[in-house]
């Protein structure tokens, strides 16, 4: 088994070049390194599988015909776990070879002779796509996180409309959940009855509507609050309600 050659620089973007033509492999390594990428080179397909599994490169530039294991078999071996781009490069230009490579998991197909700009364009395209995917995942994660509030042992999941306290799910109605969510998103400040009624029911408090008070009373009972001296959802006389952050 040959020892892979590693050319490092300051970038964290890792390109694996799998090519048994020594001159071509060196040319690609030099060219990509000059463009600011970290490049690893190996000339064997079986070595490539090990390197991919161990280092998870951002892009693999993979020759179709290789000793040890050909490019198609490399794709087949790593694709179940490797999600980054594989660009296959081969001297063969028959459609059946391209189809087979793509079916085994290659993302792109280049035929030799490889043109520098074409190779770089394809690499950059896949790196941009990977960056967009990472941003989307982070955005989705952030959006989902904003739909979950946690106060010590109390967890409120808006998306699932689930409330759990001390590891146990609390059964509450939709109306009760709406009140709890609004109070929890304003934790640490007093919310007036007028504000609660306006946001939850769409009209100003008239001094007679007690539906909010009833919902809060039921919430206190279900959430283990003291009905006579509530310490979790407090009543601030003459002002409104106060959701205590640290009482859970």
For residue 205, pLDDT over 60 is answered with no
Residue 136: pLDDT band by 50, 70, 90 thresholds? low
Q: How far is CA 201 from CA 2, 137, 160, 204, in A?
A: 72, 35, 22, 8
**Token duo for residue 17:** 């070049």
Instruction: List domains and CATH numbers for the chain.
Output: 5-143 (3.40.50.2300), 148-243 (1.10.10.10)
Mean pLDDT, the chain, whole residue set: 80
CA angle 96, 26, 18 (to 5 degrees): 40
Q: What percent of the chain has pLDDT over 70?
A: 80
Rounded Cα gap, residues 57 and 13, in angstroms: 8
For 41-56, the pLDDT digits (tens) are 999 999 999 999 999 9
Residue 194, token pair as written in the block: 């007028």
Task: State the pLDDT at residue 113.
Answer: 86
Give residue-wise pLDDT tens across range 77-117.
Answer: 998 788 888 888 877 655 545 566 666 777 787 888 888 99
Matching residue, tokens 């609050």? 225
Among 62-66, 173-177, 229-233, the least confident range: 173-177
Asked, as a colleague might, if the bond just before 197 is cis with ω within 30 of 0, I would say: no
- Residue identified by tokens 């390197």 is 51
Distance between CA atoms of residues 134 and 67, nearest Å: 35
């Amino acid at each position: 088994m040959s020892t892979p050659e590693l050319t490092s620089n300051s970038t964290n973007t890792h390109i694996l070049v799998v090519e048994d033509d020594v001159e071509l492999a060196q040319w690609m390594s030099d060219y990509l390194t000059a463009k600011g990428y970290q490049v690893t080179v190996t000339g064997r397909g079986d070595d490539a599988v090990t390197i991919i599994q161990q280092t998870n490169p951002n892009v693999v530039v993979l020759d179709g015909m290789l000793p040890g294991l050909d490019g198609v078999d490399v794709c087949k071996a790593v694709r179940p776990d490797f999600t980054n781009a594989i660009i296959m490069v081969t001297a063969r230009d028959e459609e059946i070879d391209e189809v087979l490579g793509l079916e085994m998991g290659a993302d792109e197909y280049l035929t030799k002779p490889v043109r520098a700009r074409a190779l770089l364009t394809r690499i950059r395209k896949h790196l941009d796509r990977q960056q967009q995917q990472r941003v989307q995942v982070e955005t989705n994660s952030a959006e989902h996180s904003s739909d979950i509030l946690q106060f010590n042992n109390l967890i409120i999941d808006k998306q699932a409309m689930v409330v759990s306290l001390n590891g146990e799910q609390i059964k509450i109605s939709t109306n009760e959940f709406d009140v709890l969510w609004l109070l929890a998103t304003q934790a640490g400040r007093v919310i007036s009855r007028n504000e609660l009624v306006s946001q939850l029911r769409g009209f100003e408090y008239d001094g007679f509507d007690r539906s909010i008070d009833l919902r809060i009373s039921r919430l206190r009972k279900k959430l283990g609050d003291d009905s006579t001296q509530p310490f979790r959802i407090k009543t601030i006389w003459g002002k409104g309600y106060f959701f205590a952050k640290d009482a859970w």
